[in-house]
Chains A and B, each alone.
Chain A
Amino acid sequence: MKSFVLNDFIVERDDRRCIRCQVCVRQCSFEVHRYDAELDQVLADEEKCVGCQRCATFCPTHALTIRSSPREFRANANWRPELLMDIKRQAESGGVLLTGMGNDKPFRVYFDHLLLNASQVTNPSLDPLREPMEVRTYLGAKPARLRYENGRITGDMPPQIQLETPIMFSAMSYGAITYNAQLALMQAAQELGTLCNTGEGGWHPDFRKFRDHVTVQVASGRFGIDQDYLNQAAMVEIKIGQGAKPGIGGHLPGEKVTPLVARTRMIPAGTDAISPAPQHDIYSIEDLSALIYALKEATGYEKPVAVKIAAVHNAAAIASGIVRAGADVVVIDGVRGGTGAAPKAIRDHVGIPAELALAAVDRRLRQEGIRNRASLVVAGGIRCSADVFKALALGADAVYIGTAALVAMGCTLCQQCYTGKCAWGITSARPDLAKRLNPDIATRRVVNLVRAWTREIKEMLGGMGINAVESLRENRLQLRAVGLEDWEMDVLGVKGAGM
């Protein structure tokens, strides 16, 4: 069948600059570029180009420009070119369209409609270069009160995790990302004093040395879980859902289950690794409670147990149930959260924005008087330090970043993670591609990013005259909205600018 799908990208090569070094040929994992010795020219199969910009980045003479193809049909505000192409692809394949990374549709990004406050006259702003600025954060359930006797402060304190910055790395499994990528995240978490999440792909023996900085995930596939897996980690996270694909499970094809992946997941090499859509021992809130306490029993009540859900319509009521079921940490993953592979229809249309879900959950827990009984972590669409800052003001104790950390390593959001061909060595299945990512350089990049964001957070805190992050949490008075409807401001609990 002749394909009617037009190119996504155009490859422009400036022949006066091209020195025929063929770096592009070697770098492109999608085999766009090829060298024709007879013509002494580098040619391009543009229909294969995914726009990852690997070739343009590495071209030593900047001879390459990769541009979006205009794909100009008769103008139609309703039938956008993307929809036409999707229909043609499905007409040719009959299959579910797959994609990677987070929702790329122009739903309102609430972070971009919130502005921050600063001190003027009645209180001084603080200079983080001269004054201490505290961003240390403790995750875990807190008792409602403490007691004092004979010089000792006492209380029933559940286990706490100390974070030196309120930014953690979200769940990305070994398998979804490469060995080197996960190694880089764990090294970065250790250096930064924060946590890295294994995802549900097990916990490689080489990475056990980062135990104080690792959250292990218990998801529907239950891959790689044993007594040590739970007890060696700093925190255990039950994954109910994920922002990129709420209600959907996972499927790692057998060809990606290499001996190393197989060993880590504790499954036979070459077999498909299926994560069912639900956890088949959790069909209700009381089942969740049973699992939470089973994990607490297994870990001697020494580890916080987190429960991660996708942000869905009644997230507030669900979160309340999760807290009452005994979770120490609730994680809300918004509609823009990333993934290694998801059906495009699901990724782009299921779930609600993290900002709205976070605000609603925080308010509900406070109204019910149980906000202290769990920490709140938000994920899905944190793109910069200001997003982190606004999330904290909306009530988050900490945030997860995934996409941003991968972008720091090199990712350009070409959305091809599921193909195993990642040219940047981040999600690649092929060893020759996977080895492109130098874990030490990747660690450096990720550490630099989080340090830079943390510095920016301190600058913003100082501008408000605040020197400890706990005075920002739930401090929605430090936010003002621009360009939002009344109902949106109600949900966010913020006033309009000028009010």
Chain B
Amino acid sequence: MKDLERAANPFGDDKILANCGIFGMMNCDGRRSGGQDIIKAMANMHDRGNGLGGGYAAYGIYPEHAEDYCLHIMFESEDARRHAEEFLHHWFQVALTEPIPTRRVAGVLQVPLLWRYFVRVPSLEAGGRPGADAGPSAGGAQPHEAPGAAGTGSEGAGGVSRPDADDYVVARVMEINTTVDGAFVFSSGRNMGVFKGVGHAEDIGEFYRLDEYDAYLWTGHSRFPTNTQAWWGGAHPFSILDWTVVHNGELSSYGANRAFLEMYGYYCSMHTDTEVLAYAVDLLMRRHQLPVQAMAAVLAAPLWQDIDRMPPQERQNHTLLRQVYGGLLMNGPFAIVVAHGGEMVGLRDRIGLRPLVAAVRGSTLYLASEEAPIRLVAPELDAVWQARGGVPVVGSLERGILEGSQPVPTSGLDRGQVARAVGMH
């Protein structure tokens, strides 16, 4: 996609406005389940979208390629695919190339070419280029295959450390998206995938055959844009590496957020609130290594009147976060579900203007714009509540379910199974 700005924002608006329905579900014991539940939930929230965008993120779906980065790429033409593949073979060891499996669905039209590539970062010492191309001969990743043994070390292929490999992948993804005409990478994480397009969310789920994938963590989004043409890349989730964001809301702070992020090298080419949210999460959690609670305390900061009454250590933490990252305060109504390998976070704006319902059944955490879709897929719930403004609700393979930093009691969490899942993700 050479001209991202034009594709994403044909009318040159300040940004693209969109209101939405969001959903997230995570089995915190690592148990994987198919996509039919989240499709059902998104169908229930049909009226929160208008058919101009739907999408999903699924974690744990590529266990036999768990150490490879999986790039999902949409192409406008075969030419674009050829150019992008030349680029990929130049910069990566490509372990597997295949079309993303889809089925025909009545409501999903004008489908771009959809391919996925399992790639490894070559040893940077070897000149930043792979010696050989693994080619598309290795067996494809099929939905519903048993989880394979996957490495858990912090080293990627070729002895490149994980942070370096991550940065390498981010840079290449940005490069494709801004220089390769007609190609757009919409998923670039490991053992996870983003599936999105133009259509109602439930149709997009059927189209991508999500019922055939097994994931321990699903997020979904249906979109109600008010000022954009249909463009497949503009649907949610927004992602970089295995970080994904689905978002419902409208940020009045967008201009301030964007200006702040420019300081850190993020250029907001998509003109959406979601993009600045995704970059903010990336900056705070991946690059600056801050925990979920600190991320929440920046995006949806507590009021000064509350900070001033906190115990000294807490007060100092919050004061520092607001002083330094004040430009990332997301002002205006929003509810988001952020996910990355092993963790799902729900967060509402600081004064709770946009809805976000949290619910727990067994070891499964649900997050949604409404209670109804949760009840539809899990009629019996152990607990259900409106998330409080600025207080993150966290599902984690390692730490179970938390509200803020307080554990939420869960039934049926098998620690042994969790340990295996943690090793796997």
Interface positions of A (Cβ within 8 A of B): 119, 122-124, 126, 131-132, 134, 136, 138, 142-148, 151-155, 157, 160, 366, 369, 371-372, 393, 395, 464-468, 470-478, 495, 499
- In Å, the complex CA distance between A470 and B260 comes to 11
- What is the CB-to-nearest-CB distance from B199 to chain A, in angstroms, rounded to a whole number? 22
Q: Which of B294, B304, B320 contacts A134 (CB 8 A)?
A: B304
- What is the CB-to-nearest-CB distance from A53 to chain B, in angstroms, rounded to a whole number? 42
Contacts of A153 in B (CB 8 A): 290, 294, 316-317, 320-321
> Given A153-B294, A464-B252, A476-B255: A136 and B304 within 8 A (CB)?
yes
Are the C-beta atoms of B252 and A466 separated by less than 8 Å?
yes
Are the C-beta atoms of B317 and A152 separated by less than 8 Å?
yes
- In Å, the complex CA distance between A429 and B305 comes to 45
> Given A122-B226, A155-B320, A155-B324: A465 and B331 within 8 A (CB)?
yes
Most central of B226, B256, B322, B326 by chain A CB within 10 Å: B256
B253 within 8 A of A: yes
Are the C-beta atoms of A467 and B350 separated by less than 8 Å?
yes
Are the C-beta atoms of B226 and A466 separated by less than 8 Å?
no
Contacts of B316 in A (CB 8 A): 152-153
- In Å, the complex CA distance between A338 and B242 comes to 56
Are the C-beta atoms of B262 and A145 separated by less than 8 Å?
no
- In Å, the complex CA distance between A160 and B323 comes to 9
What are 30 A-B contacts defined by CB distance under 8 Å? A119-B252, A122-B17, A123-B249, A123-B251, A126-B351, A132-B305, A134-B304, A143-B324, A144-B264, A145-B324, A146-B288, A146-B321, A146-B324, A147-B288, A148-B294, A151-B317, A154-B320, A366-B262, A366-B263, A369-B265, A372-B263, A372-B324, A465-B252, A465-B333, A467-B351, A471-B253, A471-B329, A474-B256, A474-B260, A474-B327
- In Å, the complex CA distance between A205 and B257 comes to 44
B192 within 8 A of A: no
B229 within 8 A of A: no
Are the C-beta atoms of B333 and A124 separated by less than 8 Å?
yes
Please list the 6 inter-chain residue pairs (A to B) with the smallest Cβ-Cβ separation, ordered nearest first. Answer: A477-B255, A471-B253, A470-B326, A471-B331, A475-B255, A123-B250
Are the C-beta atoms of A369 and B332 separated by less than 8 Å?
no
Are the C-beta atoms of B320 and A124 separated by less than 8 Å?
no
Given contacts A157-B324, A366-B263, A473-B327, 4 further A-B contacts (CB under 8 A): A123-B252, A372-B324, A393-B255, A470-B326
Are the C-beta atoms of A473 and B256 separated by less than 8 Å?
yes
> Given A124-B333, A136-B304, A153-B316: A147 and B289 within 8 A (CB)?
yes
- What is the CB-to-nearest-CB distance from B99 to chain A, in angstroms, rounded to a whole number? 37
B231 within 8 A of A: no
- What is the CB-to-nearest-CB distance from A216 to chain B, in angstroms, rounded to a whole number? 23
> Given A157-B323, A470-B326, A471-B329: A146 and B252 within 8 A (CB)?
no
Q: Which of A369, A393, A470 contacts B263 (CB 8 A)?
A: A369
Are the C-beta atoms of A477 and B14 separated by less than 8 Å?
yes
Contacts of B291 in A (CB 8 A): 148
Most central of B264, B305, B323 by chain A CB within 10 Å: B323
Are the C-beta atoms of A474 and B253 separated by less than 8 Å?
no
> Given A151-B313, A467-B350, A470-B327: A123 and B333 within 8 A (CB)?
yes
Contacts of B260 in A (CB 8 A): 474
Most central of B19, B253, B265 by chain A CB within 10 Å: B253
- What is the CB-to-nearest-CB distance from B345 to chain A, in angstroms, rounded to a whole number? 16
Q: Which of A132, A146, A147, A464 contacts B303 (CB 8 A)?
A: A132
Are the C-beta atoms of A131 and B321 separated by less than 8 Å?
no
B353 within 8 A of A: yes
B259 within 8 A of A: yes
Are the C-beta atoms of B333 and A146 separated by less than 8 Å?
no
Contact string against A for B residues 257-281, beta-carbon threshold 8 Å, 1 for contact and 0 otherwise: 1011011110000000000000000
Most central of A153, A395, A468 by chain B CB within 10 Å: A153
- What is the CB-to-nearest-CB distance from B244 to chain A, in angstroms, rounded to a whole number? 22
Contacts of B12 in A (CB 8 A): 499
Are the C-beta atoms of A138 and B323 separated by less than 8 Å?
yes
Name the residue on A nearest B18 (C-beta): A122
Are the C-beta atoms of A146 and B325 separated by less than 8 Å?
yes
Most central of A146, A148, A395 by chain B CB within 10 Å: A146
> Given A123-B252, A146-B290, A467-B351: A157 and B332 within 8 A (CB)?
no
- In Å, the complex CA distance between A465 and B249 comes to 12
- What is the CB-to-nearest-CB distance from B297 to chain A, in angstroms, rounded to a whole number? 9
B59 within 8 A of A: no
Contacts of A473 in B (CB 8 A): 256, 326-327
- In Å, the complex CA distance between A474 and B12 comes to 20
- In Å, the complex CA distance between A371 and B326 comes to 13
Contacts of A495 in B (CB 8 A): 14
B56 within 8 A of A: no
Contacts of A471 in B (CB 8 A): 252-253, 256-257, 329, 331
B301 within 8 A of A: yes
- In Å, the complex CA distance between A134 and B301 comes to 11
B254 within 8 A of A: yes
Contacts of B326 in A (CB 8 A): 468, 470, 473
Are the C-beta atoms of A145 and B327 separated by less than 8 Å?
no
- What is the CB-to-nearest-CB distance from B356 to chain A, in angstroms, rounded to a whole number? 16
> Given A122-B17, A146-B288, A148-B290: A475 and B263 within 8 A (CB)?
no
Contacts of A145 in B (CB 8 A): 287-288, 324
- In Å, the complex CA distance between A154 and B317 comes to 8
- In Å, the complex CA distance between A326 and B256 comes to 25
- In Å, the complex CA distance between A459 and B17 comes to 24
> Given A138-B323, A467-B351: A475 and B313 within 8 A (CB)?
no
Name the residue on B nearest A370 (C-beta): B263
- In Å, the complex CA distance between A372 and B264 comes to 11
Contacts of B325 in A (CB 8 A): 146
Are the C-beta atoms of B256 and A124 separated by less than 8 Å?
no
Contacts of A372 in B (CB 8 A): 263, 324
- In Å, the complex CA distance between A468 and B288 comes to 24
Are the C-beta atoms of B304 and A470 separated by less than 8 Å?
no
Contacts of A470 in B (CB 8 A): 256, 322, 326-327, 329
- What is the CB-to-nearest-CB distance from A161 to chain B, in angstroms, rounded to a whole number? 11
- In Å, the complex CA distance between A153 and B325 comes to 12
Contacts of A393 in B (CB 8 A): 255
Contacts of B14 in A (CB 8 A): 477, 495
> Given A477-B254, A478-B255: A466 and B294 within 8 A (CB)?
no
Contacts of A474 in B (CB 8 A): 255-256, 259-260, 327
- In Å, the complex CA distance between A465 and B256 comes to 14
Are the C-beta atoms of B320 and A146 separated by less than 8 Å?
yes
- In Å, the complex CA distance between A395 and B321 comes to 20
- What is the CB-to-nearest-CB distance from A450 to chain B, in angstroms, rounded to a whole number? 18
Contacts of A395 in B (CB 8 A): 259
- In Å, the complex CA distance between A296 and B375 comes to 62
Are the C-beta atoms of B253 and A475 separated by less than 8 Å?
yes
- In Å, the complex CA distance between A369 and B267 comes to 13
- In Å, the complex CA distance between A124 and B355 comes to 13
Are the C-beta atoms of B351 and A122 separated by less than 8 Å?
no
